[in-house]
Amino acid sequence: MEIPYIVDARPDTGLHNCKLGIWLFLASEVMLFGALFSTYIILRTGAVEWPFGELNVWLGMANTFILIGSSVTMVMAWASLKLNDFGKHRLYLIGTFVLAGIFLVNKYFEYADHVTRGELPSHSTFLAVYYTMTGLHGLHIVGGMVVMAYLLGPGAKMWKTRPDQFSNRIEATGLYWHFVDLVWIFLFPVLYLL
Residues lying near another protein in the complex (CB under 8 A) are found at 1-5, 10, 13, 15-17, 20-21, 24-25, 27-29, 31-36, 39, 42-43, 46-48, 120-125, 128, 131-132, 136
In the bound state with another protein, the residue whose beta carbon lies nearer, of 90 and 124, is 124
User: How far is 182 from 123, CA to CA, in rounded Å?
Assistant: 28
In the bound state with another protein, the residue whose beta carbon lies nearer, of 40 and 92, is 40
User: How far is 101 from 193, CA to CA, in rounded Å?
Assistant: 24
Type of residue at 147: V
In the bound state with another protein, the residue whose beta carbon lies nearer, of 97 and 177, is 177
Least gap, CB of 138 to another protein (angstroms): 13
In the bound state with another protein, the residue whose beta carbon lies nearer, of 68 and 139, is 139
DSSP 132-178: HHHHHHHHHHHHHHHHHHHHHTGGGGHHHH-HHHHHHHHHHHHHHHH
User: How far is 169 from 7, CA to CA, in rounded Å?
Assistant: 10
In the bound state with another protein, the residue whose beta carbon lies nearer, of 21 and 189, is 21
Least gap, CB of 73 to another protein (angstroms): 27
Least gap, CB of 115 to another protein (angstroms): 12
Least gap, CB of 52 to another protein (angstroms): 16
Least gap, CB of 102 to another protein (angstroms): 26
DSSP 66-132: HHHHHHHHHHHHHHHHHTT-HHHHHHHHHHHHHHHHHHHHHHHHHHHHHHHTT--TTT-HHHHHHHH
